[in-house]
Structure 1
Amino acid sequence: MNIVVDENIPLGKDAFSTLGNVSVLPGRQISSSYLQEASALIVRSVTSVNKKLLAGTPVKFVGTATAGIDHIDQEYLNNQQIGFADAAGSNANSVAEYVLTALAIIAQRFQISLKGKTLGIVGVGRIGRLVANHAKVLGMEVILNDPPLARKSQDQCYRPLEEALQADFVTLHVPLINEGVDKTVHLIGEKKLAAMSSSSILFNTCRGEVIDNHALLLALKNQQIQGAVLDVWEGEPSIHWDLAHTATIATPHIAGYSFDGKIKGTSMIYSAACDYFGIAPTWKFTEDAPPLSHPGNAINAHGHNLEHLLVQLAPRLYDLQGDDTRMRSLLVLPMPQRPTRFDQLRRQYPKRREFYAFPLLLQDADPGVLSDLDQLGFSIHQFEK
C-alpha cells in the first residue's frame, strides 16, 4: 500500500510506514499527480481535499491530523465511499494553553488583573469549554455564545453574540462555515467590531476568515478596540501584513502546534487508518517524562496569588512571545518572500511541550493555589524547606 503524508505531521512517516510505502510531501504541493498510486492520503489544514484532488486516483482513505475539517469535502468523500477520519480534540489543550499564556502576557503588559474581568467565548466546543474552565479558575466571568448548542440544549447559559462581544476579552473558537444560519465567514466584521468595547481585546485561534481582517485593521487603528491576539489570518500564507504589524500578539497559525497535540493527532489518524484497512496497529509513540525540577530550582510561591504565579509560569513554559517575535521578523522581508517564510515558520516550528510535561517545584505555595494550578494543567509539586 502506498501512502502520501504531509511532511508537517510529526512522526507521520514512522507511523504510516508500518502500513505501507510512505511518500512525504509539503502540504501545499500535494496534487493529483502524486496520488496516482496512493491508497491513503494523510494531510493537515493547508491541503484542500476535494474532487479536483482525488478524482481518478485510487485513494480509499483520507485522514486529517487536525481538529478543523473545512478543508475537506466530506460530501464528495461520502459519495465516493472514501473512508475519512479527523483528529478532533487533539489540539484542544494546546490552543487553550495558547489563550491562557496570551492572557498572562497581556495582564503583565497592561498591568491589569484578570480576576473579575469578563471573557466572551464564541464557540463552546472542546477548546471553548477548556478556555471557559481556565477562565473560571482565574476568577473571570465567562459569557458563552454558541447558537447550535443553544438551539440543541435550550440552556440559558448560552448568550447572544452581541452580549459576548461586550466582554473585556473575546475569544473565537468556531468552525469555518461558508453559508447557512450558522455561517461564520466574516462573523466578526465592521458592525460587530463597532459594537465592541473600546477596551476589549479580540483573540482568534480558529480560522482567519472568521474575522474581516481589513475591518479589524481599521478598528485597531481607529482605537475601536484595544487590541487583537491573532494566530490565524485570511489568505494564508499571503496574509494582511499591516494587520500582523498592528496586532497585540501575532503568530503564524501555531496555537494548536504543541508537540503533544500533534503527536496525539498522528496517533488518532494512524489508529483510524488501521481500523479502516483492517490492519493491527504496531506503532505507538512513547517518550520519557522530563525529570522533576531540582529543589534548588524551586519557585518561591510564598504570599503569591494564582494570577501572579500564572504570569510567571505560563510564559516560562511556553515562549509565546518568541512565536510573536519570529512572526514579526517576516515584516522586514521583501513582500514576495513573506508567504514562503510564513509556511517555513510552521514547518520548522520549535518543539513545544504542553504544561503537564514540565514537573515544577513550588516552595511554600498556598494549597488552594496549588489546586488551581493543577486545574489549569500545570504539573506542580509542593516543596518545603
Structure 2
Amino acid sequence: MKIIADSNIPFVSECFSSIGEVQTAPGRQMSPEMLKDAQVLLVRSVTKVGPGLLEASDVKFAATATIGVDHIDQQWLEQKNIGFASAPGSNANSVAEYITAAMLKIAGKQGKKLSDCSIGIIGVGNVGSRVEKKAISLDMKVVLNDPPLARKTADPKYRPLEEALGCDFVTIHTPLTRDGQDPTYHMADREFFSKIKPGAVFMNTARGAVMETAAVENAVKEAKISGLVLDVWENEPDISMEMLKLADIATPHIAGYSFDGKVAGMIMIYDACCRHFGIEPSRKTADFLPRASVPFIDAAELTGDEQSRIEAAVSRVYDIMNDDSELRKITEQDAGQRPVYFDMLRKNYPVRREFTNTKVKGANKGLARKLSGIGFQVE
C-alpha cells in the first residue's frame, strides 16, 4: 500500500509504515501526478482534497489530521466511495490553552483582572467548550453563542450573538461555512464590529475567512476594540501586513499545534485508516510523546498577584509571545518570500507540550484551583 502524507504530520512515517510504504511531501506541493498510484492520502489544512487532486488516482482512503474539514470535498469523496476521516477534538485543548495564554497576556498588558471580565464564545464545539471550562476556572463570566446547538438542544444557555458581542473578550471557534442556515464566511464584518462592546478584545483562532480583513482593521483603527489576537488570516499564507501591524498578538496558524494535539490527530487518522482496511493497529499515542520539557514548577517561584502567578506558570510552559515575535520577522522578508516564511514557521514549529504534562507544587488553595482548572497537575 502506498501512502502519501503531509510532511508536517509528526511521526507520520514511523506510524504509518506499519501498514504501508510512506512518502511525505509539503502539503501545498501535493499534485495529481504524485498521487497517481497511491492508495492513501494524509493531509493537514493547506491541501485541498477533491476531484482536482484525486480524480486520476487510485486513492481509497483520505484523511486530514485536523479538526477543520473546509478543505475537503466530502461529498465528492463519498460519491467515489473513498473512505474519509478527520481528527475532531484532537487539538481542541491546544487551542483552548492558546486562548488562555493570550487572555492572560492581554489582561496583564491592559491592567485588567480576568475575574472581572466576561468572554463571549462564538461556536461551542470541541474547542469552544474547552475554552468555556478554562474561562470558568479563571472566574470569568461566560456567554455562549451557537445557533445550531441552540436549535438542537433548546438549551437557554446558548445566547443571541448580540449578548456574546457585549463581552470584554470575544472569541470565534466556528467552522468556515459559506451556505446553509448559519454561514460563517465573513461573519466578523462591519455590522459585527458595530455591535461589539466598545473596548472589547477580539480573538480569532478558527479560520481566517470567518472575519473580513478590512472590517477588523477598521475596528482597530476606529478604536472599537482595544485588543486583537489573530492566529488565522485571510489568504494564508499571503497574510495582510497591515493586519499584522495592528494585532496585539499575531501567530502563524499554530494555536492547535501543541505536540500532544498533533500526535493525537495523527493517531486518530491512523486508527481510522486501519479500520478502513481491516488492519489491526499497532501504534498508540504514548509511542510518540517525549518527556515534558517543563515537568515541574515550584509555586514559590511565581511572584505577583494571583493572575500574575498564573500567567507566569503558563508562560513557562507556553510563551505565546515567542510565536508572535517569530511571525513579525515576516516583515523583514521580500514580499514574494513572505508566504514561504509563513509556511516555514508552521513546518518547523517547535515542540510545545500541553499544561497537563506539568506539575505545580506548593500552590495555595485558590491558585491550585485555577491552575488545575486550566489543565495543570497540582500537588
TM-score by length of 1: 0.94
Cα deviation, residue 367, structure 1: 2.3
Cα deviation, residue 288, structure 1: 5.6
Query: Is the partner of 1:46 in helix, strand or coil?
Result: coil
Look up the equivalent residue of 2:230 and give its one-letter code.
L
- Find the counterpart in structure 2 of residue 348 from structure 1: 348
**Number of aligned pairs?**
377
Judge conservation of contact 1:145–1:159 (CA < 8 Å) in 2.
yes
> Mind listing any 5+ residue stretches in structure 2 that lack a counterpart?
none
In 2: Cα distance, 1:42 partner to 1:87 partner: 11
Matched, 1:162 2:162: yes
Structure 1 residues 32, 160: closer, same or farther in 2, change over 3 A? same
Matched, 1:258 2:253: no
Cα deviation, residue 18, structure 1: 1.0
Cα deviation, residue 372, structure 1: 2.7
Query: Is the partner of 2:218 in helix, strand or coil?
Result: helix
For structure 1, which segment, 109-118 or 322-331, has the greater mean C-alpha deviation from structure 2 after superposition?
Answer: 109-118
Cα deviation, residue 368, structure 1: 3.7
Judge conservation of contact 1:119–1:168 (CA < 8 Å) in 2.
yes
Cα deviation, residue 292, structure 1: 8.2
- Find the counterpart in structure 2 of residue 375 from structure 1: 373
Cα deviation, residue 290, structure 1: 3.9
Cα deviation, residue 359, structure 1: 2.4
Cα deviation, residue 319, structure 1: 1.6
Correspondence list, 1:94-133, <5 A: 94-133=94-133
Correspondence list, 1:14-33, <5 A: 14-33=14-33
How much identity, in percent, do the aligned residues show? 44
Structure 1 residues 293, 342: closer, same or farther in 2, change over 3 A? closer
In 2: Cα distance, 1:122 partner to 1:182 partner: 12
In 2: Cα distance, 1:63 partner to 1:127 partner: 20
Judge conservation of contact 2:302–2:313 (CA < 8 Å) in 1.
no
Matched, 1:300 2:310: no
Cα deviation, residue 380, structure 1: 2.3
In 2: Cα distance, 1:55 partner to 1:136 partner: 48
TM-score by length of 2: 0.96
Judge conservation of contact 1:60–1:83 (CA < 8 Å) in 2.
yes
Cα deviation, residue 344, structure 1: 0.2
Please give the per-residue CA displacement for 1:282-313, whole angstroms capped at 9, x wherever unaligned: 2232446449867xx72317997642321211
TM-align CA RMSD: 1.7
For structure 1, which segment, 183-192 or 308-317, has the greater mean C-alpha deviation from structure 2 after superposition?
Answer: 308-317
Cα deviation, residue 268, structure 1: 0.5
Query: Is the partner of 1:313 in helix, strand or coil?
Result: helix
Please give the per-residue CA displacement for 1:193-240, whole angstroms capped at 9, x wherever unaligned: 121122101000010000001111111111121121000000000111
Query: Is the partner of 1:339 in helix, strand or coil?
Result: helix
- Find the counterpart in structure 1 of residue 282 from structure 2: 282
User: After the TM superposition, which parts of structure 1 deviate over 3 Å for at least 4 consecutive aligned residues?
Assistant: 286-294, 301-306
Look up the equivalent residue of 1:138 and give its one-letter code.
L
Judge conservation of contact 2:302–2:312 (CA < 8 Å) in 1.
no
Cα deviation, residue 371, structure 1: 2.8
Judge conservation of contact 1:42–1:63 (CA < 8 Å) in 2.
yes
Cα deviation, residue 107, structure 1: 1.5
